[in-house]
Amino acid sequence: MAMTSAGSAAKISGPTPGSTNYGAMGMVTTLFFIWGFCTVLNDAAIPHLQNIFGLNYVQAALVQFSFFISYFIFAQPAGKLIEWVGYQRTMVIGLLTMGAGALVFLPAASMVSYGVFLLAEVILAAGITILQVAANPYVTILGPPATASSRLNLTQAFNTLGDTVAPYIGGALILGGAAAAEAKKVNVTTLHGPALQAYRVGQASSFRLTYGVIAAFVILLALAIAFFKFPRVEVTRDFRPASLDSTSKKDSIWNHPHLYLGAIGIFIYCGAEVSIGTYGVRYIADPHIAGVPLEEGAKLLAFYWGGMMVGRFLGSALMQRMAANVLLAWSGVGAAALVLCSLLSTGHVAEVTILSVGLFNSIMFPTIFTLGVAELGPLTSKGSGLLVQAIVGAAFIPLLSGLLADHMGIHASLIPPLLCYFYVIYYGWRGYRIAPNEAQSEIRAV
């Protein structure tokens, strides 16, 4: 069933305030899984591309830069797309765009062109951006607003299920070739001309199967979403009391401090999360940490993402009884403490503490998101676009971490994430609060 446009939102109804549409929520959850999988697959792709092209940390960080810059470019247009064609059609468009991006990896691998790899990342991420802008707020309106944070944390748990399995699959399919080259004692620096090109073509071939399968899967999923009978809901359901003039043309997303402070929080948090994931494989493989092969390091990184999955299930349950902002603040404290411990240590202590950060990262994105869009009413799609746009922090902060890693060593890559978690603590403590001219949020907060 096609979703309604924004212009006809007032003529239709959605789920009753006291119920959650679990059928639609289950279908949308598959989208969270697939974009989580594709995003974290970069953590395995980056060290392999470093080997193929001889990249330093900053050059390798261009993969994440290209991927996450798409959030900044396409998030606001995606918000408009929802208003034009509705949630369901927007999800289908997002999946088809993802499929197109995955297919670009095939010529990138054949040509062995770093530039084409980066182009593929941009297109793939454009599709994921469209899905994020549509699916995140859609989950929040599939049931009562009081449990929106819990609901989004539950769906995000399946997002991190994709995150968790990606390192294993990426380690086996993408980094398997790198392991074979290491076993044969291939020294890339001694190769030149045709020999170097032949080596690169052989190593890059591992991308073709992986992303070919992804392209086929997301195109089939797009067809499933297109024919699924979703409930007809308003594009932006207003959770605020009717006495508020929520349709005033003077209202703007910039009149809601908790929204733009939340956007900063998303920028900061995503930068921290992705920085740790980007350099996690190399960090664990460092002789001063675990000293394992890259393929093994990629598999160990699954504990980082697996911790996020477990934490989101726990967080979804805890938020039935605990204020979302309180859990957010304490999660920031836990993450900062673990990063600091890893920064100041070596060996297995540094390894275990950095992998454990994922448990505390778990509830940060969905909680900041739901606190940020609270009380926006008709501005929900625009607010969602701004928050998803802020994911671009994952493009810039890893560059800073890479710069420090190149000049000061891999340990120094943890300094920016450490600083980022202090802002997360602030947002959970004070930044989330609704301004005095807004109604009190129905989302649990103190």
Q: What is the pLDDT of residues 108-136, one digit of tens each?
A: 999 989 999 999 999 999 999 999 888 87
Mean residue pLDDT of the chain comes to: 82
Band the pLDDT of 385: cuts 50, 70, 90. confident
Q: What is the pLDDT of residue 204?
A: 85
Q: 100 pLDDT exceeds 50? A: yes
Give Cα separations from 228 to 35, 91, 135, 283, 357 (angstroms): 19, 12, 15, 43, 37
pLDDT value at position 177?
55
- Tell whether the torsion through CA atoms of 148, 152, 154 and 155 is positive or negative: positive
- Reported as a pLDDT band with limits 50, 70 and 90, residue 419 is very high
pLDDT surpasses 90 at 368: yes
Q: What percent of the chain has pLDDT over 70?
A: 83
What CATH class has 6-235+247-431? mainly alpha
- What is the model's pLDDT at position 302? 87
pLDDT higher at 243 or 322: 322
> Which residue would you say has higher pLDDT here, 411 or 141?
411
Of the listed ranges 7-21, 69-83, 350-364, the least confidently predicted one is 7-21
Residues 45-89: tens digit of each pLDDT: 898 898 888 889 999 999 999 999 998 899 888 888 888 888 889
Given a cut of 60, whether residue 10 has pLDDT beyond it is no
How do residues 235-284 score in pLDDT, each as one tens digit? 444 333 333 344 445 677 778 888 989 999 999 999 999 999 999 989 99
Q: Using an 8 Å Cβ cutoff, are 178 and 51 in contact? A: yes
pTM higher than the cut 0.85: no
